[in-house]
Amino acid sequence: MILSNDKILVIDYGSQYTQLIARRIRELQTFCEVIPFNKINKKILNDKALSGIILSGGPNSVKDKKSPKLDSKILNLGIPILGICYGLQLICKEFKGKVGQSKLREYGHSIITVKRKSLLFKKVKTKNQVWMSHGDHIEKKPYGFVITSLSSEKVIASIENLDKNLFGLQFHPEVYHSLEGKKILSNFLFIICKIKNKFKLENFLSVKVKTLRVKLKNKKVICGLSGGVDSTVTAFLLHKAVQNNLFCIFVDHGLLRLNESKEVENTFKTKFGKNFKKIEASNIFLKKLKKIKDPEKKRKIIGKTFIEVFEKEAKKIKGVEYLAQGTLYPDIIESIPFFGGPTAKIKSHHNVGGLPKKMKLKIIEPLKELFKDEVRNLGGKLKINSELLNRHPFPGPGLAIRIPGEVDKHKIDILQRVDKIYIEYLKNNMIYDKIWQAFAVLLPVKSVGVMGDERTYNYTISLRAVTSVDGMTADFYMFNKTQLTNISKEIISQVKEVNRVLFDFTSKPPGTIEWE
C-alpha cells in the first residue's frame, strides 16, 4: 500500500537477526517487507516497486537435504540480491560452489580485509570488524563469482557476481558489532539497488489518510483505546481520515496507573467528543479476579472480561463495519508461526489487538507496516502530546501482573501511589528516557521494620528498570547508590503501607520483564 516507495524484500530463512535487517533498512529510510521463505509467491515477486532482495541468515545448513531452498524464480528476476550468511550459502550452492564446515568455525567478532574493489564496500575501510555467526562457510567459490573480502582466518567473507547482480556476505552487517555494517547495507540499497523513493513518514501519513478514506468511505469504525501509544496513534490517524465515523471505546479495568484513566478521558473527550466512550468496569474486573492467584489465570480472566465489556458496548453503536487495531510490524512478524516469538509461549498476552473474531467486523490495522519508534514519530506529526508518546510500554493486564498473588483494590491503590513516586523521580532526575521500561512490583510479603521508635510490619516493593530494544531481551538498568537511596526513602516515607524496597537485577532471559 505504500504506493510510490521503492521496496526491499527480506526473505527470512529463520535467522534471529531478520527483524534487525528490516530495522536497519528502515533506519536508512527505505521501505521493506519481511516474508518467510515458504510464503513467497508470484504476486510478491512481481511487485513493480521491488528494487532488491535480501536473503537472511538461518539456523540450517545448506548441506542438509531438508534445509530451505532458494527458489529459482527469485534468481531469475534480475534485480539485485544480497545473501547474508545462510543466504550467501544458498547462492553458493545454486552456482555450484562448495559449502563446508571446517575447524575454522567463526562465531562473534572477526576482522575482514577487503581484497577487491566492490560497490558493497564503497567508502568502507579495507580492514574492519564484523560479526560472524555460522558454522558453515564457502570452501570453493561459486562459478562466475569473485571473492571481495577474507576474514583473518582466511575464510571467504564476501563474494559477488556483478553480471548477475548477486552479492553475498558471510558475516552479519545488520548487527551493531559489524562496525561498518550499516554503510555496507546503505551501499546495497542506494548504489546497487538504486533506491530513489525513500520511505518518509510525512508521505506515509498523507497516503495512508487518503487510502483509508477511499477504503472506508462513509462506513463506521470502532477502536478500542488502552491509553497506550499504539491505540492512541491508530485512533488519531483514523480520525483524520473518517472524522465522525470513528467511535472510540476505552474500557477502564481499574488496573491503570494513578490518574491515567482521567488523563485518557481528557485527551480523547476533547478530541472526539461524543464519539468517545469510557466504560468504568473496575468492579467487574476486581470481582472476577477475587481469590485468583495464578498468573496465567489472571491474564486470561482479564483478557476475556475485556472482550466481554468491549463487545457489549460496541454492539450499542449501530451499523459499525470495521474494528481498528494498533497492530505494529513486529507483532505481524512475531505472529507468523514460522517466526515463532518466544515470549508468546511464556505468557498469554492480552491487549486491544486481541479482540474477538466473532464480532464479525472487518479488521483495519493502519500501523501494521511500522515499527514502534516510527509510530511515535507519526504520533508527533498527528500532534499527540509528547509525554503520552514517550511513555514506557504498559501491559494490557495492567497492574494486576505487577501484584503477584491475589489482586484487590487496596493493593492496587498502594502500587499506584508507589509507581507515581518512582516514575516521577525518574522524570525529575532525567533518567526516565534512558530506561526502556520502569515500574514497581508489590510483593505479597510483609516484613518487620522500624520507623521512629515504632515497630512496623508492612509490604515490600521491588523496583524494576530495564534497557531493551524491543522487549524481547532486556538488561537491568543500573542505578547508582544515591538514586536507589532516594527512591527507596521517598517511597517509604510517603507510602505508609510499605517499609522495604528491593531492586530487581535480573536480565531477560532468564527473567521476563513483568513479574507475571
User: Shortest distance, CB of residue 52 to ligand XMP, whole angstroms?
Assistant: 33
Query: What torsion, rounded to 10 degrees, do the Cα atoms 162, 164, 165, 170 define?
Result: -80
- Distance (Å, whole) CA 435 – CA 448: 32
> Contact between 514 and ligand XMP (CB under 6 A)?
yes
Q: In this complex, which beta carbon is closest to ligand XMP, that of residue 100 or of residue 393?
A: 393
Do 23 and 371 meet the contact criterion of CB atoms below 8 Å apart?
A: yes
What part of residues 418-447 is at the interface with ligand XMP (CB under 6 A)?
437
User: Shortest distance, CB of residue 463 to ligand XMP, whole angstroms?
Assistant: 15
- Distance (Å, whole) CA 338 – CA 39: 10
Q: What is the number of other CB atoms lying within 10 angstroms of the CB of residue 279?
A: 15
Which of 67, 113, 203, 512 binds ligand XMP (CB under 6 A)? It is 512
Which of 395, 398, 438, 443 binds ligand XMP (CB under 6 A)? It is 395
Q: In this complex, which beta carbon is closest to ligand XMP, that of residue 37 or of residue 439?
A: 439
Do 211 and 1 meet the contact criterion of CB atoms below 8 Å apart?
A: yes
> Contact between 144 and ligand XMP (CB under 6 A)?
no
- Distance (Å, whole) CA 371 – CA 315: 32
Reduce the DSSP state of residue 165 to 3 states and report it. Answer: coil
Size of the site for ligand XMP (CB under 6 A): 15
Read off the C-alpha cell for 168.
Answer: 553475498
Continuous segment of H or E residues that includes residue 146: strand 146-151
Q: In this complex, which beta carbon is closest to ligand XMP, that of residue 118 or of residue 327?
A: 327
> Contact between 305 and ligand XMP (CB under 6 A)?
no
Which of 168, 330, 396, 398 binds ligand XMP (CB under 6 A)? It is 396
Strands (E), 272-316: 276-280
**Cα dist from 324 to 86, 304, 363, whole Å:** 38, 19, 6
What part of residues 61-80 is at the interface with ligand XMP (CB under 6 A)?
none
In the chain, DSSP finds a helix count (H) and a strand count (E) of 16, 20
N-term to C-term CA, the chain: 38
User: Shortest distance, CB of residue 357 to ligand XMP, whole angstroms?
Assistant: 18
Do 218 and 245 meet the contact criterion of CB atoms below 8 Å apart?
A: yes
Whether a cis peptide bond, with omega within 30° of 0, leads into 356 is: no
User: Shortest distance, CB of residue 508 to ligand XMP, whole angstroms?
Assistant: 5
Read off the C-alpha cell for 158.
Answer: 564476501
Tell me which of 172, 239, 253, 350 is the catalytic residue: 172
Which ranges of 409-452 would DSSP assign to H, the alpha helix? 409-428
> Contact between 508 and ligand XMP (CB under 6 A)?
yes
The stretch near ligand XMP (CB under 6 A) out of 94-102, 216-224, 285-293, 344-352 is 344-352
> Contact between 197 and ligand XMP (CB under 6 A)?
no
Do 86 and 58 meet the contact criterion of CB atoms below 8 Å apart?
A: yes
What sign does the CA torsion over 510, 511, 513, 516 have? positive
Q: In this complex, which beta carbon is closest to ligand XMP, that of residue 198 or of residue 508?
A: 508
- Distance (Å, whole) CA 408 – CA 166: 61
Identify the DSSP state of 474.
B
Site string for ligand XMP, 459-488 (x = CB under 6 A): ------------x-----------------
> Contact between 298 and ligand XMP (CB under 6 A)?
no
Which of 133, 351, 462, 488 binds ligand XMP (CB under 6 A)? It is 351
The stretch near ligand XMP (CB under 6 A) out of 5-13, 268-276, 314-322, 394-402 is 394-402
The separation between CA 306 and the C-alpha centre of its own chain, rounded to angstroms, equals 23
> Contact between 186 and ligand XMP (CB under 6 A)?
no
Read off the C-alpha cell for 497.
Answer: 503501607
The stretch near ligand XMP (CB under 6 A) out of 80-88, 289-297, 347-355, 404-412 is 347-355
Which of 239, 257, 350, 391 binds ligand XMP (CB under 6 A)? It is 350
174 is catalytic: yes
User: Shortest distance, CB of residue 400 to ligand XMP, whole angstroms?
Assistant: 10
Tell me which of 174, 334, 374, 514 is the catalytic residue: 174
> Contact between 397 and ligand XMP (CB under 6 A)?
yes
Q: CA angle, 84 as apex, 83 and 87 as ends, to 5°? A: 55
> Contact between 341 and ligand XMP (CB under 6 A)?
no
User: Shortest distance, CB of residue 509 to ligand XMP, whole angstroms?
Assistant: 9
Residue ranges in contact with ligand XMP by CB under 6 A: 343, 347, 349-351, 393, 395-397, 437, 471, 508, 512-514
Q: Which residues are annotated as catalytic?
A: 85, 172, 174
